Amino acid sequence: MKRSMTIEAPAKINLSLAVGPRGDDGYHAIGSIFQAIKLCDSIELSLVDEPGIDLECACDCGVEQNTMYKAAFLYIQALRREDLPAPGIRIRAVKRIPSGAGLGGGSSDAVAVLKALRELIPGSCGPAQLAAMASAIGSDLPFFLGGSCAAVRGRGELVQPIKPRLDYALVLARPGFSIATKDAYALLDELRPLAPGRVGGGLEGSLNAALDAYANRHPSSWRFPNDFYDALIGRYPGLKAIKDRLSGLGADFCSLSGSGSCLFGVFTDEKQALDAHSALSSEGIESYLSFPLARLPYSV
């Protein structure tokens, strides 16, 4: 039996993101197109004799608050419920996905841990158990269990795989700050009385229109929404500056990913994407050249 493995944890972008009003449970429904991309963290996970969870990661939170730790902890609990031996777990993470950027790095890292443990401990947890553990950690984790592109609804737990388009390159650009997800939602809620958000069929209608355009239209005609963008640019003017710069460098479509702070440009000309990435880097802007993924590693 293998005792260790290294698994990649890809980032994602939100090609479209419509956000419903805050519900009575405190959560917001979304309608979004998620696309996994080649920018990734690397997670090395080993089973060891010493009990407990040993996590080594350059992260901005306490160890027990880290999503990878939470994933390993839930997996150990699941093993014990089934009266299966629970090994010690050692995790070493190499982070490349920036935090607070709306790229899902923490969520993808946690799912990578779940997938690695399932591979290293055959017959331990099935797909339904992994899905339950993923949902318990965070709303957007279930996406990373399946296909590389999906229509995502509800709080993020309703994932409908769709065929990914691979006919474009991406340039990601991050301003010199992060945005906490809870702060972005709070600002969106604050501004909604002045500009009411999507409700009822409006949320589903927005997603269906985005899905149709995604499948059938050239990226230069994409007009996908990100409801966070208009709410955030008043407080974070650097977002608009980055978006305008990506457009000026020839992007066919630009948007904010998730609740920010990372923006991305879609380029159907790969050389133009490479030139844009070089230009942004020369201007001192944190920039990444990436591509959509056709599949996720170890899909469940």
Catalytic center residues:
12, 140
* Structure tokens belonging to residue 145: 């269990």
In the block, which residue shows the tokens 């409908």? 160
Q: Contacts by 72-79 with C-beta closer than 8 Å and gap 24+?
A: 72/113, 72/117, 74/133, 74/136, 74/137, 75/113, 75/114, 75/117, 75/124, 75/125, 75/133, 78/124, 78/125, 78/129, 78/133, 79/121, 79/124, 79/125
CA–CA dist 122, 192 (Å, integer): 48
Q: What string of DSSP letters covers 227-240?
A: HHHHHHTTT-THHH
CA 106-110-112 angle, to 5 degrees, is 115
- CA atoms of 243 and 260, how far apart (whole Å): 12
Strand stretches in 144-283, DSSP E: 149-153, 158-161, 169-174, 253-256, 263-267
Peptide bond into 135 cis (omega under 30): no
DSSP symbol at 143: G
